[in-house]
Amino acid sequence: MKAILVIADGLGGRPSDLDGQTCAEAASTPNLDALAEDGALGLVDPIGPGIRPGSDTAHLSLLGYDPFALYTGRGVFECLGIGMDVKTGDVCFRANFATVLDTDHGFRLVDRRAGRLETGQDELEVALNRIELTETPGVQVMFRASTQHRGAVVLRGEGLSPHVTETDAHRVDALVLEARPSDSDPASARTADAVNEYTRKSYQALHDHPVNRKRLAQRNPPANIVLLRGASTCPRIPSLESIYDVRGAVIAGGALYRGVALACGMTSIDVPGATGGLDTDLGAKARAALDALDTVDYVFVHVKGTDNAGHDRDAAAKVAFIERIDAELIGPLVDGIDRDATHLAFTGDHTTPIDYGDHTVEPVPVLFAGPNVARDAVTSFGEREAGRGGLGRFSGRVLPILLGYCNWAPKFGS
Ligand code: ZN
Ligand code: ZN
């Protein structure tokens, strides 16, 4: 047996998306409809009924974990997702290059994203990784750039805590914030000191860097400081392999999703052209998933464009992307697998309706197909069709259900 899980981020919608239809209902999806005819549908509350999901917590839940017990914050998944090594006790942050003016009152924010810089991040990274914290001895700090202005930071050392506030004021003209401990643990005060020293030293390391001199000469905002937010520690997540005794791989353009899957014990497959956006190469992802099934038991493919279009309140883009998923990802996957020995699941991690432009609490359609799936009466894919499906409505755990169809679920009790 083999299994494929496809999650389209923010797939779900509302009837207000398009004159009484959701984007998934309005999209023409012949391949998903054919799978619906062969398989079974239902509605899944990604975390639970009435819980408005973030993408990271929703993914943990869909992969079979309890995010209320495990979740420590987003930073650690970003760090893992961009290939950083994270150890127990490390404190991870999301980081971004920003542009500031050094004033008598502090660093004044000019551009939170340093003009979304496109080049030079690697050289800036080298300069940042020479920083040594002398006022908070025993704390090591590692920076890694990801895309544009984005990156991540790991603090390593004895006696650190994730309970510190962020330095990003999220507002132009505001001063860069001092990190503060958010509880009375001395480790939190020590971590806040380390963050504040790092912030100052990031400016020292960057403001006169050749990359920034060149940016200034070209009238681009310099990437002259690093802002930190989303402090989190490494959660203790038992690996999927330790639970199901099978091996899985993740294919995702977005670092956050790779990071969640890596934290759960999957291996990551890099696919050139997988961007984590609307322009992603879905055909390349399909080919990589089929190749991966030669060596692993299951593959998790994440696509992000649906959520981007939802946040942009762009119904036409969301419909078009769902149609691309159907034609360029689902079609080739179905054509490439052994239908008698492969189970497939397709769902979203939450709804991102067009009128709201952010995640909402409604459940998401979910589809299972494969030799052990009892076919239901539904013959097309969409929210209302899924609501009539044979699987009813359930919470999270889509991957465990999929692996269960493959006879890989451990027995609870005797
Ligand atoms: Zn999401
Ligand atoms: Zn989103």
Instruction: State pLDDT tens for residues 111-168.
Output: 999 998 999 999 999 999 999 999 999 999 999 999 889 999 999 999 999 999 999 9
Q: Residue 407 C-alpha to ligand 2 middle, in angstroms?
A: 33
Q: Residue 65 C-alpha to ligand 2 middle, in angstroms?
A: 20
Segment 71-83 shows an average pLDDT of 93
Q: Residue 373 C-alpha to ligand 1 middle, in angstroms?
A: 26
Q: Residue 341 C-alpha to ligand 2 middle, in angstroms?
A: 34
Q: Residue 131 C-alpha to ligand 2 middle, in angstroms?
A: 34
Q: Residue 338 C-alpha to ligand 2 middle, in angstroms?
A: 33
Q: Is the pLDDT of residue 222 over 90?
A: yes
Q: Residue 9 C-alpha to ligand 1 middle, in angstroms?
A: 4
Q: Residue 307 C-alpha to ligand 2 middle, in angstroms?
A: 5
Q: How far apart are CA 225 and CA 205, in angstroms?
A: 8
- In this predicted model, what pLDDT tens digit does every residue of 161-212 receive, in sequence order? 999 999 999 999 999 999 999 999 999 999 999 999 999 999 999 999 999 9
Q: Residue 213 C-alpha to ligand 1 middle, in angstroms?
A: 38
Segment 283-309 shows an average pLDDT of 98
Q: Residue 2 C-alpha to ligand 1 middle, in angstroms?
A: 25
Please list, in sequence order, all residues whose beta carbon lies within 8 angstroms of the beta carbon of residue 141, skipping any fewer than 6 positions away. Answer: 131, 133, 153, 154, 155, 156, 194, 198
Ligand nearest to the CA of 310: 2
In a domain, 410, yes or no: no
pLDDT band at 252 (very low <50, low <70, confident <90, very high): very high
Which domain-ending residue is among 198, 232, 266? 232
Q: Is the pLDDT of residue 80 over 90?
A: yes
Q: In terms of domains, do 16 and 30 share one? A: yes
Q: In terms of domains, do 134 and 157 share one? A: yes
Ligand nearest to the CA of 309: 2
Residue in 132, 136, 143 with CA at minimum distance from that of residue 164: 136
Residue 1 identity: M
Range of the domain at 319: 2-71+238-405
Which domain-ending residue is among 232, 264, 290? 232
Q: Is the pLDDT of residue 227 over 90?
A: yes
Q: How far apart are CA 182 and CA 161, in angstroms?
A: 10
Q: Is the pLDDT of residue 396 over 90?
A: yes
pTM: 0.91
Q: In terms of domains, do 183 and 128 share one? A: yes
Q: Residue 357 C-alpha to ligand 2 middle, in angstroms?
A: 9
Please list, in sequence order, all residues whose beta carbon lies within 8 angstroms of the beta carbon of residue 224, skipping any fewer than 6 positions away. Answer: 98, 99, 100, 114, 203, 206, 207, 209, 212
Q: Residue 350 C-alpha to ligand 1 middle, in angstroms?
A: 6
Number of domains in the chain: 2
Ligand nearest to the CA of 257: 1
Segment 23-28 shows an average pLDDT of 98
Segment 318-341 shows an average pLDDT of 98
In a domain, 414, yes or no: no
Please list, in sequence order, all residues whose beta carbon lies within 8 angstroms of the beta carbon of residue 104, skipping any fewer than 6 positions away. Answer: none
Segment 223-236 shows an average pLDDT of 94
If phi > 0 it is left, if psi is from -120 to 50 it is alpha, else beta; for residue 159 that is: left
Task: Record the tokens describing residue 301, joined without a space.
Answer: 């493919």
Q: In terms of domains, do 203 and 269 share one? A: no
Q: Residue 51 C-alpha to ligand 2 middle, in angstroms?
A: 15
Q: Is the pLDDT of residue 247 over 90?
A: yes
Segment 82-92 shows an average pLDDT of 94
For the chain, what percent of residues have pLDDT higher than 70? 100
Please list, in sequence order, all residues whose beta carbon lies within 8 angstroms of the beta carbon of residue 279, skipping any fewer than 6 positions away. Answer: 305
pLDDT band at 285 (very low <50, low <70, confident <90, very high): very high
pLDDT at res. 147: 86
Q: Residue 200 C-alpha to ligand 2 middle, in angstroms?
A: 32
In a domain, 412, yes or no: no
Q: How many residues does the chain have?
A: 414
Q: Is the pLDDT of residue 277 over 90?
A: no
In a domain, 411, yes or no: no
Q: Is the pLDDT of residue 395 over 90?
A: yes
Mean pLDDT for the chain overall: 97
Q: For residues 40 and 398, is the Cβ–Cβ distance under 8 A? A: no
Give the dihedral sign, CA 404/405/408/411: positive
pLDDT at res. 71: 95
Q: What's the CATH number where 285 sits?
A: 3.40.720.10
Which domain-ending residue is among 184, 200, 232? 232
Q: Is the pLDDT of residue 275 over 90?
A: no
Q: In terms of domains, do 272 and 291 share one? A: yes
Q: In terms of domains, do 11 and 116 share one? A: no
In a domain, 413, yes or no: no
Residue in 262, 221, 219, 215 with CA at minimum distance from that of residue 240: 262
Task: Record the tokens describing residue 30, joined without a space.
Answer: 């012949």
Answer with the residue of higher pLDDT: 306 or 117: 306
In a domain, 258, yes or no: yes
Q: For residues 209 and 158, is the Cβ–Cβ distance under 8 A? A: no
pLDDT at res. 263: 96
